[in-house]
């Protein structure tokens, strides 16, 4: 049996996905939880970001998240706050210290940055997203193949609304966050979860699980594999997200 108390998990984005994911990871017995975010709590967050209460509105999100996590899951686990987004200058250093990354960011630039950094550092990652009634979770093993870019080759050229713009149902992000942790625990336990894609339809309750295949021409894990983060096509986009 895997000793989860010795494992380290980094949650990127303590929002609608990251909040339930952090709670589930702590409840499962993961010994060290890193939380990465640079935002403050807004009243519009409260219907889906379950670590926070009315009293947290306006507070630093990480400070509130650490207290909220302790309220939900008392215990001896360690919480490590990282008061930043993952950016070109820090992404590899942040993910390097963890066994698995649970990614719940709200923009494509950060998602691609996390994918690249984890692939280069040989760290397993579970990507998640949820908009309106639908959500997905994708598990990528430490070997980095198949990867996020095997499914999503590039940042959308047209505007792709996030959950703040298009809306999202609170229960949907809760389910997707739980699915991410299920995949993360499988990766930590050495189970065959690499390349598993799970989709959830909040209208019907349908949850579908399938394996995806790696693309030979993938820029991240295929024949044209990047060798440094600076080669990533998403570096400039990630910097722009942080500035804006």
Active site residue ranges: 163
Written as six digits, the tokens of 203 are 């209208």
Contact 222, 216 (CB under 8 A): yes
Q: Is-contact 20 173, C-beta < 8 A?
A: yes
Task: Give residues with Cβ within 8 angstroms of 75, minimum separation 6.
Answer: 26
Give the containing element (helix H, strand E) for 69.
helix 61-72
Kindly compute the dihedral angle of the four CA atoms of residues 82, 103, 186, 173, in this order, to the nearest 10 degrees: 120
Helix axes 61-72, 18-28, angle to 10 degrees: 40
- Token pair recorded at residue 49: 């970001």
Backbone angles phi, psi at 237, to 5 degrees: -65, -40
């Amino acid at each position: 049996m895997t000793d989860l108390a010795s494992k380290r998990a980094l949650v990127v984005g303590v929002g609608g996905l990251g909040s339930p994911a952090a709670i589930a990871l702590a409840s499962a017995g993961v010994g060290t939880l890193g939380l990465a975010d640079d935002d403050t709590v807004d009243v519009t967050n409260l219907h889906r970001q379950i670590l926070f209460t009315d009293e947290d509105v306006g507070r630093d999100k990480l400070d509130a998240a650490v207290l909220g996590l302790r309220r939900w899951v008392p215990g001896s686990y360690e919480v490590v706050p990282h008061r930043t987004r993952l950016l070109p200058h820090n992404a590899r250093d942040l993910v390097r210290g963890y066994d698995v990354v649970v990614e719940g960011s709200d923009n494509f630039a950060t998602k691609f940055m996390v994918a690249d950094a984890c692939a280069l550092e040989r760290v397993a990652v579970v990507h998640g997203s949820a908009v309106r009634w639908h959500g997905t979770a994708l598990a990528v093993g430490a070997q980095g193949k198949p990867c996020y870019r095997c499914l999503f080759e590039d940042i959308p050229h047209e505007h792709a609304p996030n959950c703040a713009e298009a809306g999202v149902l609170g229960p949907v992000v809760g389910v997707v966050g739980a699915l991410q942790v299920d995949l993360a625990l499988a990766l930590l336990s050495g189970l065959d979860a690499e390349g598993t894609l799970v989709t959830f339809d909040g209208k019907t309750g349908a949850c579908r699980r399938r394996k995806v295949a790696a693309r030979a021409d993938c820029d991240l894990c295929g024949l044209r594999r990047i060798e440094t983060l600076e080669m990533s096509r998403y570096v400039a986009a990630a910097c722009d997200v942080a500035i804006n």
